Structure 1
Amino acid sequence: MTDTPQGFDTLAIHAGTEADPATGARQVPIYQTTAYVFRDADHAAALFGLQEVGYIYSRLTNPTIGALQNRIAALEGGAGAVCCSSGHAAQIMALFPLMAPGRNIVASTRLYGGTITQFSQTFKRFGWSCTFVDFDDLDAVKAAINDDTRAIFCETIANPGGYITDLDAIAAIADEAGIPLIVDNTTATPYLCRPIDHGATLVVHSLTKYMTGNGTVTGGVVVDSGKFDWSASDKFPSLSQPEPAYHGLTFHETFGPAAFTFHGIAIGLRDLGMTMNPQGAHYTLMGIETLSLRMEKHIANAQKIAAWLEGHDAVAGVTYAGLDSSPYKNRIPKICPKGAGALFTVQLKGGYTACTKFVAGLNLFSHVANLGDARSLVIHPASTTHRQLTEEQQIAAGASPDTVRLSIGIEDADDLIADLDQALKAAG
């Protein structure tokens, strides 16, 4: 690779990968191995002591996964990245070095339903807590932060409604409080937005979605900006104070901008074990090669379909940020200048019953609990992904009972419109 700055499409194909030194293979091989042979005892000791970078055991590091980590870090403009088994795993991996019993997170109300459950219910078992706030109310975000707050969390383009977060404004609040901003960039991808450029400390993804793009594997990643000063206060002892498991090594002092990434591997993957498999990494590497091409088609289709739906007699509202009617359209030039993504919700005048009939009547749209696939997908969040929430929480998350979520694929837009039209008619 050259040191000259390169465009997104070049990085999507070349970043983090060279021809295999052993065979000359141009595509990254799937290193389907558990362990790696050490040169000698000194080599093994240096690897285990974090004095040398290399491969020990595939729970920690693997060449295929390493190539994917390097590529995503390059696309996001980060100092490093750690891949793991899923998007949910990535959220735990991002928070694990920051949190401790009694500490809390301030998070947006507009999040994927599974994230809301993870933050509000499962994290209680760790002794962590979460305060959910409307991130359009900046004063409320500031008021929610206290001495025990260790992170702010939001999504770039919120799932399910497609709302766009003012990342720069939230990052300014995080900076003032001296805490990291963690941004889930799954629905935007680095093609539409690089949250680090807007002040984010950490970026997480469910690689299961647009980054892979074909609905074949699950995966997650945490990207570190390398810009946060973990030693500026005593809030983050895992990174700023000696680590007993490594003979008193201090991650921030030793690794500088790469501290969070090294901690994610040496502590996070070592002890939590949320490892990505090499074959999954290989599929994601191949998916990323066509990310920009897919996203352009996703967005063109979404814009056309959202505008058509907005004018349909059975539709009460469409949340797509690319529409003139959206209160978030003015954020597109700053946050997502290439487009508003391809995920949004549709409110049906017939309510809950009409939604379930509509979903059942679709043919080209697949009724699945996923998004970001090449094929178009549909789900009724109130009865599925957000079912565990109260109706008040569903409404706050943009998943009220009269709402259907659409993930627009890359098929012919006119065919998708025809399918939507017949299903809306069948729903009454």
Structure 2
Amino acid sequence: MSDRLPGFSTLAVHAGAQPDPTTGARATPIYQTTSFVFNDADHAASLFGLQAFGNIYTRIGNPTNAVLEERVAALEGGTAALAVASGHAAQVVVMQQLLQPGDEFIAARKLYGGSINQFTHSFKSFGWNVVWADPDDIASFERAITPRTKAIFIESIANPGGSITDIEAISTIARKAGVPLIVDNTLASPYLIRPIDHGADIVVHSLTKFLGGHGNSIGGIIVDAGTFDWSKAGKYPMLSEPRPEYHGIKLHETFGNFAFAIACRVLGLRDLGPALSPFNAFLILTGIETLPLRMQKHCDNAKTIAEYLAGHPAVSSVSYAGLASDKYNALARKYSPKGAGAVFTFSLKGGYDAGVSLVSNLKLFSHLANVGDTRSLVIHPASTTHSQLDDAAKVKSGAGPDVVRLSIGIEDKEDLIADLEQALTA
């Protein structure tokens, strides 16, 4: 084989995986075990002291999970990755490495409702404070920076409205402030957008969505870009200062450009414990093999259906960056030229009641709280995923009372349009 770098589809099938050396199994085995035998006492001591890499206990690492981690890191262009139990778990583990009590992070106001809730309420228990900025007003990120700011958090494609975030512009602000940019790339997947190429330092995913792709397993992942200097200015003591639990090792000094992924594993995952099961890792790996095929079909279907809805008399507006008339279309062409994703919203002229009625009358679309499935999904965010927000916050996050969110699957688009037509008529 030549020395050329493998393409995306090849990496989606092969990255991180080899035939099992013992059995010859071609598919990555499910290592369904809690613990792993040490060679001897010295081997055990070296593993626990971070002097050697290897398996100790599945809460900390597992060979099935390791293949998943290497594959997603390769697809995202990162140096290393850590798989965890869910996307929410990934966010907690990331922030634990960055924030001390009283610290702040800036987050884009257009986010998944669960993230808004986690950042606003749950993170307060740790003494971590969120400051909101408007991704449609890039300068608002710079205005929000204070001496306590330790990170900026955005979504590449925002949930639920499908708006595209200007990653490079916000990365410039993060660099100037000397803080890492964290990008949730769940809705885009690395097939559409690779945030590290545009200045992200950390990428997170809910593996539950497009990477797994089949609605059968929950997981999350953290990808370390290897681009941030964790020792500069002493802002990040978890990485730059001696760790007493590891005999004074300085993680950044020792592990260099994958130190953040190591910190997430040996400080976050080890002690907080949100481990991904090997079985779920196996299912998600299987899903990733078809990611390029699925994502292109998702995007092609979504654009056709968005165009159909934009012309429907019952619809007042459609928010889909793939439409030429959409305010985010220029950003979509810059960051996501292969397609604007599969998740978008539209507003109904009948308001809240019309949204509730629509989701009740659809037959092929499944009414549930998820996105990124092979099946097409629908939800009315104001009454479900964003219901904890007040009305003003719902509108600001793109989940007003008249808004319906669709996650377009890979079915025949004619059947999806027929289902929407009958439900809108009803």
Structure 1 residue 157 corresponds to structure 2 residue 146: no
Pairs within 5 Å for 1:130-209: 130-209=130-209
In structure 1, C-alpha distance between the alignment counterparts of 2:421 and 2:237, rounded to whole Å:
56
CA distance in 1, matches of 2:87, 2:145: 25
- The corresponding residue for 2:225 is 225
Partners of 1:333 and 1:420 in 2: CA distance? 27
Unaligned runs of 5+ in 1: none
* Deviation of the 1:4 alpha carbon: 3.1
CA distance in 2, matches of 1:232, 1:99: 15
Q: Identify the residue that residue 277 of structure 1 maps to in structure 2.
A: 277
* Matching residue's letter, 1:337: P
TM-score computed with the length of structure 1 as normaliser: 0.99
Kindly state the Cα deviation for residue 137 of structure 1 after the two structures are TM-superposed. Answer: 0.9
Q: Secondary structure at the match of 2:97?
A: coil
Opposite residue 65 of structure 1, the aligned amino acid is N
Gaps of 5+ in 2: none
Report the equivalent of 1:238. 238
State the Cα distance separating 1:147 from its structure 2 match.
0.5
Distance across 1 between alignment mates of 2:110 and 2:258: 31
SS in 1 for 2:232: coil
Q: 2:89 — aligned with what?
A: 89
Please tell me the residue identity of whatever aligns with 1:272: L
Quote the residue 1:60 is aligned against: 60
1:405, CA displacement in angstroms?
0.2
Residues 1:418 and 2:418 aligned together: yes
CA displacement 1:348-403 (0-9 Å, x = unmatched): 00000010001100000000000000000000000000000011111011000000
Output the CA distance in 1 between the equivalents of 2:387 and 2:355.
14
Q: What is the DSSP-based 3-state SS (H/G/I as helix, E as strand, rest coil) of the residue aligned with 1:116?
A: helix
SS in 2 for 1:154: strand
Separation in structure 2 between the aligned mates of residue 367 and residue 214 of structure 1, nearest angstrom: 15
Letter in 1 for 2:50: L
Give the aligned partner of residue 307 of structure 1: 307
1:290-305 correspondence to structure 2 within 5 Å:
290-305=290-305
- Counterpart CA distance in 1 for 2:28 and 2:342 is 30
Deviation at 1:3, TM superposition (A): 5.5
Q: Counterpart of 2:372?
A: 372
Matched, 1:116 2:86: no
Whole-angstrom distance in 1 between the partners of 2:176 and 2:135: 16
Match of 1:40 in 2: 40
Give the stretch that moved more between structures: 112-121 or 130-139.
130-139
The Cα shift of 1:232 comes to 1.1
Number of residues paired by the alignment? Answer: 426
Distance 2:140 2:190 in 1: 28
Distance 1:2 1:239, change over 3 A: farther
Change (3 A) 1:409 1:122: same
Counterpart Cα distance in 2 of 1:269 and 1:134 = 31
Q: Deviations over 1:144-170 (max 9, x none)?
A: 011001100010000000000000000
Secondary structure at 2:171 match in 1:
helix
How many percent identity over aligned positions? Answer: 58
Distance 2:359 2:299 in 1: 22
For 2:265 and 2:127, the matched residues in 1 are separated by 23
- Using the alignment, how far apart are the partners of 2:239 and 2:2 within structure 1? 32
Equivalent residue of 2:158, what SS? Answer: coil
Rounded to whole Å, the distance in 2 between the matches of 1:289 and 1:257 is: 27
Q: Secondary structure at the match of 2:233?
A: coil
- Whichever residue aligns with residue 92 of structure 1, its letter is V
Deviations 1:169-209 (A, max 9, x none): 00000000000000000000000000000000000000000
Distance 2:151 2:202 in 1: 10
Tell me, in whole angstroms, the C-alpha distance in 1 between the residues paired with 2:167 and 2:233.
Answer: 24
Indicate the residue corresponding to 2:259 in structure 1: 259
Q: Which amino acid aligns with 1:243?
A: R
Give 1:170's aligned amino acid.
Answer: I
Superposed displacement of residue 333, structure 1: 2.4
Equivalence for 2:286: 286
CA RMSD of aligned residues (A): 0.8
- For residue 97 of structure 1, give the secondary structure of its aligned residue in structure 2: helix
Q: Distance in 1 between the 2:333 and 2:317 partners?
A: 23
CA distance in 2: counterparts of 1:92 and 1:224, whole angstroms: 15
1:247 is matched with which residue?
247
Structure 2 counterpart of 1:370, which letter? N
Deviation, 1:261, is: 1.1
Deviates most, 195-204 or 130-139: 130-139
SS of equivalent residue, structure 1 residue 96: helix
What SS class does the counterpart of residue 233 from structure 1 fall into? helix
The equivalent residue for 1:19 is 19
